[in-house]
Chain A
Amino acid sequence: MSSLSGLRALRALGAPGHPLLLLCLLSMMRSSLADGNLTGSPFTSLRLREEMLAKYSNLSSVIHNISLTEHSSVPVEKNITLERPSVMELQCQFTTSGDLNLVNVTWKKGDELLENNYPVNITGNTFYTQYMFTIINSKQMGSYSCFFGEEKELRGTFNIKVPKVHGKNKPLITYVGDSTVLKCECQDCLPLNWTWYSSNGSVQVPIDVHTNDKYVINGSYANETRLKIKHLLEEDGRSYWCSAAFQLGESEEHIELVVLSFLVPLKPFLAIIAEVILLVVIILLCEVYTHKKKKDSDDGKEFEQIEQLKSDDSNGIENNAPRHRKNESANQ
């Protein structure tokens, strides 16, 4: 705890523009270390050094908070994405109605127990604890948990990861001889570097841009990268991985490329054409058939009509009316 207050003092002194002052304090602390006055361990001095390095290079400070109550049954988790080295301040607070003095708090990174000199503060019903550290490289990334032990252990976890890269969820379907563009992007983040791999099974082979102009990698903005593949062949249909490198680690995403030959959609197309031609031929044949039938019966009827009209004309117009009407109703 005292080391922390010392750190706080350093921070209060503040500006990274006081190297002399810092050096003075450093030497002071080192001497006090030698005296064994500080309850700290080598870990503390390491942390101290990292803190000062952080201050010197003007790192961002990230603070995150988890609240737990005695009723929290599900482990509470918080996901944190970090791009750049930062000073982390993880805070846990625990509210209970029971006796707070019996509560035992521990911090762990994964399964590894961290040093037990973190500040603890009890205010009313709430138990505050805090863990501060600096993240500089990928080794410090991971899951940090605070444990409150009473009868049952309550746990809050901070998952610190690099930002996720987004590609495409669905496979990209292309045809032989086409060219296609595979795109990977990282929202709200700026990777240092992008790399593309192609994998056949488990082996990842980096993509060679320089051999021929089959592959072209370019990015419009730094948070986006595009891989253009020309003259696709069927062997090109495999998984492609884009990897974004940050200071604190790497983030990958894979895109599935499927290369089909033109015969694949051609078969259903020809099947449909065959079906349509068949239907049209059947329909037209049916029509010709019913037309013929009608013509034959019509010719017969016409003949009858003409015969009747010939006989009607000789009888006179008045007698026509009832017979003509009967003919009409028969034709309808």
Chain B
Amino acid sequence: MPPSPSAPPPNPIPPDGGWGWVVVGASFISIGFSYAFPKAITVFFKDIQQIFNTTYSEIAWISSIMLAVMYAGGPISSILVNNYGSRPVVILGGLLCCVAMILASFSTSVIQLYLTVGFLGGLGLAFNLQPALTIIGKYFYRKRPMANGLAMTGSPVFLSTLAPFNQYLFNTYGWKGSFLILGGIFLHACVGGSLMRPVDLKEHTSQSKNTIAAKEDSGIKKASKASTIGKINKYLDFTLFKHRGFLIYLSGNVIMFLGFFAPVIFLAPYAKDRGVSEYYAAALLSVMAFVDMFARPIGGLIANSKLVRPRIQYFFSLAVMFNGVCHLLCPLADSYTALVVYAIFFGYGFGSVSSVLFETLMDLVGAARFSSAVGLVTIVECAPVLLGPPLAGKLVDITGDYKYMYLASGAIVVTASIWLLIGNAINYRLLAKERKKEKGRRKRSASPSKETEPLSKSKHEELSVEVSKVHSIPSEKGREKERESNI
């Protein structure tokens, strides 16, 4: 049975290869910067704290502000991508980050660092993250999970290279020079952005047989433009909040992120608390990052296989459950080797979840609405991502033992996975029912117009061999019905 994902393939069928792999490389760079930089910059904190004469928690706010703005800037990024495409937004993001770091090198107070690195830098990273994810959906369909997995590998690779590189820069140029040079490094995101060519739509619009469909398509667009809600939805698709799959994904992820990042942040302090030396505690994080690096492409490969792709939501839920179980079992680790084993399993779980994190969203809402979806998802996820670690820290302070924090995180993550499993099982079943109805309806509508239909149908059979027939879009009638089935 060919893979039948929840959402139909995009209207111009993606090329699935060729220049697409170059775009994956460009996304690798953008995603790498977005996720790795807020963590890698913590290398400077200890020394900056002394220079600016502040407490460590005040300096750590820089990272939190950066992450918060990166997530909150999602909708702005989505609106820009919806209107201008990925390339200009990524180039703008790279320039913003560069300017932010250059300004930061001249700053004289912590507040200025908050504004430059935190706010401006976070915005630039937001303009990098969303378009990079969106353009993968435009270039890939059959191999999309693989492409997503490979692109998400950017995060651990950049983290393992940026962290020691930052240390080297600091030892050679001090913090001012380091920020200046990092500004230059950020410009490579612009290089990546210039590689993100918009997908060529000419082949489809130039064919005369499709002009009829195109005209009718533009007719629908004009109708929706008239209403203001339609206008807003053109910029940022708020109708997604009526989308069943989207809501399941959003709710599950919000629960998951509450307990997702805290174990990473507290791994080194937990190890030190158990009596492990500082160097070996840091080595645990390196082990985790190393396993993460390989888990992401492997996760992408597994998700792309014929067996898993139709049930990719289950794969995601199971990966989340794997993470949760790891955290629940962590307090049992009583020796350094046991902690290393935990780090390996955790790294694998973290990588698996991250590799399909956005692929599952694409799978649910389809590539066309993905850019709006990812913007809305990130701004809502902003809250649990930021609240999770401080809450976990408070839990540690109250109970005095890291064990309870791990148990709590594990429980939260397992709950999220069960929620996702049940929700997606229901969703899959309902989608299958809707597809059957759709098939029946189309068969009935196909009988009166036998002369015109077979041509267009056979043409699309050629184009979409591996996509099930139901998802081919021969006429505007079918398109409307597709939209309905997903709401």
Contact = CB atoms under 8 A, between A and B. Distances in A.
A265 B190 CA distance: 21
Nearest to B451: A317
Nearest to A259: B174
Contacts of A265: 173, 176-178, 180-181
Nearest to B204: A331
A55 B479 CA distance: 100
B64 to A, nearest CB: 26
A317 B462 CA distance: 19
B198 to A, nearest CB: 10
B243 interface: no
Contacts of A279: 191, 194
Contacts of B190: 276, 280
Contacts of B180: 265-266, 269
A295 B178 CA distance: 45
Given A272-B185, A276-B190, A280-B190, A183 B173 contact: no
Contacts of B184: 268-269, 272-273, 276
Interface string B160-204: 000000000011111011101101110110110011010010110
Interface of chain B: mostly helix, strand, loop or mixed? helix
Nearest to A272: B184
A183 to B, nearest CB: 7
Interface residues of B, number: 37
B239 interface: no
A264 interface: yes
A57 interface: no
Contact of B181 (A269, A287, A321): A269
B455 A321 contact: yes
Nearest to B102: A269
Contacts of A328: 459, 462-463
Kindly name the residue among B171, B187, B451 whose own CB sees the greatest number of chain A CB atoms within 10 A. Answer: B187
A270 B180 CA distance: 10
A173 B459 contact: no
Given A272-B187, A287-B197, A321 B458 contact: yes
Contacts of A268: 181, 184
A150 B200 CA distance: 94
Interface in A279-332: 279-280, 283-284, 287, 294, 298, 302, 305-306, 309, 317, 320-321, 324-325, 328-329, 331-332
B332 interface: no
Given A266-B180, A287-B197, A260 B459 contact: no
A181 to B, nearest CB: 7
A59 B20 CA distance: 80
Contacts of A329: 462
B220 interface: no
Contacts of A283: 191, 194-195
A272 B173 contact: no
Interface residues of A, number: 39
Contact of B177 (A172, A264, A309): A264
Contacts, number: 85
A314 B156 CA distance: 61
B50 interface: yes
Interface string A168-192: 0010111100101101000000000
Given A268-B184, A317-B455, A298 B202 contact: yes
B51 interface: yes
B135 to A, nearest CB: 15
A279 B178 CA distance: 23
Contact of A276 (B188, B197, B463): B188
B187 A273 contact: yes
Contacts of A174: 174
Given A269-B183, A324-B459, A328-B459, A260 B51 contact: no
B50 A181 contact: yes
Given A265-B173, A265-B176, A324 B455 contact: yes
Contacts of B197: 287
Contacts of A178: 176
Contacts of B172: 173
B173 A276 contact: no
Nearest to B185: A272
Interface in B6-50: 50
B399 interface: no
Contacts of B57: none
Contact of B174 (A181, A260, A272, A331): A260
B206 interface: yes
Contacts of B83: none
B459 A309 contact: no
A280 B462 CA distance: 37
Contacts of A181: 50-51, 53
Interface of A: 170, 172-175, 178, 180-181, 183, 258, 260, 264-266, 268-269, 272-273, 276, 279-280, 283-284, 287, 294, 298, 302, 305-306, 309, 317, 320-321, 324-325, 328-329, 331-332
17 contacts: A173-B171, A173-B172, A173-B174, A180-B51, A264-B173, A265-B178, A265-B180, A268-B184, A269-B180, A276-B191, A283-B191, A283-B195, A287-B197, A294-B200, A298-B206, A317-B455, A325-B458
Given A183-B50, A302-B206, A324-B455, 16 more contacts: A173-B172, A258-B174, A260-B174, A260-B177, A265-B176, A265-B181, A269-B181, A272-B181, A272-B187, A298-B206, A305-B207, A324-B209, A324-B459, A325-B458, A328-B463, A332-B463
